[in-house]
Structure 1
């Protein structure tokens, strides 16, 4: 599994405070597994990671059937993709 570091905005739709869909990199994505909440300790574990944030890790699939694992985090105003794993 290769990791790509990214810092791009994403539109994230939630159901019961859990990610279910997103719009990212010009594509629609559907969350296709059970998302895992990422706490601050996860973000602070890697150098250069944002501090004091929370986020999610989940697999999402686009309409073409391509699936990736995404680490997303919430800032004060927006959601961002921190890493995408292929």
Structure 2
């Protein structure tokens, strides 16, 4: 049985991406966490497709983009969580915490 996510209000976090574009560390509530597993991309419908989304053309599937990331991260004291985050802005990368799994 997988752990239930902890409900949280919308919250901003800082995320640093590596050369591959995936998260390497996160600061949440003034605490630094290092990613300790392989992040998984969370995908959603590509922004440029959203005006067409209500229509079904019956061929293939909708074009997808990375909408966020799920990863395990650990603080220096050993506290570990699984975080779901998504980019919240285009101009300057801002991140929003979606869920935490304990």
TM-score (norm 1): 0.80
Please tell me whether residue 13 in structure 1 is matched to residue 16 in structure 2. Answer: yes
List aligned pairs for 1:1-86, cutoff 5 A.
1-6=3-8, 7-15=10-18, 16-40=20-44, 54-77=67-90, 78-86=94-102
Structure 2 length-normalised TM: 0.68
Q: Which has the larger radius of gyration?
A: 2
Q: Deviations over 1:8-39 (max 9, x none)?
A: 11110011201001111110000000000001
The structure in which a higher percent of residues are strand is: 1
Partner-residue secondary structure (3-state), 1:39 = strand
Moved over 6 A (4+): none
Matched residue count = 76
Compare 26-35 and 7-16 and name the one that shifted more. Answer: 7-16
Which sections of structure 1, spanning at least 5 residues, go unmatched? 42-51
Does the 8 Å contact 1:53/1:74 carry over to 2?
no
Distance between the aligned counterparts of 2:33 and 2:4, measured in 1?
19
C-alpha RMSD of the superposition: 1.8
